[in-house]
Structure 1
Amino acid sequence: MLFYVQMRWNHEGRIDLDELWEIEQEEAEHAQETLDSGFCVGIWKVAAQKRVIAIIDSPDAEELDRTALGRLPMRDYLEFEAVWPLRDYLGFAADVKARYRV
């Protein structure tokens, strides 16, 4: 199942920049692993903002939750602003053509 995930760094007053960069380096390595495994379809840093957006291909919401709250190196410093399940548009289009009658 695909999810749109929008996160904001929430570190102000909690850790200094040197500590942030150390954890963010671990996060970058983790991101590469999730991209290589296919769990993360794509990840982007929003220019000029402390914000990251990712498309995640998780088997279910439970696995996404385990990753977000347990596996991410930045988990203590990320605020999840939006987590939206994504539906394939062509599947939606087929339902529209059938008027949602299956």
Structure 2
Amino acid sequence: MLFFLQMRWNHEGRVTLDELLDLQHEETAITREALDSGVCVGMWKVAGQKRVICILDLPSIDELDRVMFGLPMREYLEFEAVWPLRDFPSFAGDVARRYR
């Protein structure tokens, strides 16, 4: 099951720059593992903003919560958008069958 996530870093006044970079270093290591395993389909840092976008491939919505809870930066991430994604061919098939 694919999920689109849009996250904003909310750290101002809560951690020092060194603490933030340490957390981000931990987070990038986890992200690399997730990218290598295929759990993370892709992740992008939005240029000029404190925002990250990623697409995850997980077996369930339950697993999404587990993954998000395990992130080193969880206390400093605002999840602005979390959308389950449906592949277009499956949608088109339902349309062709008129959802019958």
Same fold (TM over 0.5): yes
CA–CA separation in structure 1 for the residues paired with 2:7 and 2:50: 9
Matched, 1:35 2:29: no
| Structure 1 residues 1-102: aligned runs within 5 Å | 1-69=1-69, 71-101=70-100
Describe the superposition over 1:16-69 as per-residue Cα deviations: whole angstroms up to 9, x where unpaired. 111101110111101001111111100000010000000000110111101101
TM-score, normalization by structure 1: 0.95
3-state SS in 2 of match to 1:73 = coil
CA–CA separation in structure 2 for the residues paired with 1:27 and 1:50: 15
Describe the superposition over 1:51-94 as per-residue Cα deviations: whole angstroms up to 9, x where unpaired. 0000000110111101101x111111111111000001010011
TM-score, normalization by structure 2: 0.97
CA–CA separation in structure 2 for the residues paired with 1:100 and 1:25: 46
Q: Which runs of 5+ in 1 are unaligned?
A: none
Q: CA RMSD in A?
A: 0.6
3-state SS in 2 of match to 1:47 = coil
CA–CA separation in structure 2 for the residues paired with 1:36 and 1:73: 19
Number of residue pairs the alignment of both structures matches: 100
Runs of 4+ in structure 1 deviating by more than 2 angstroms, as ranges, are: none
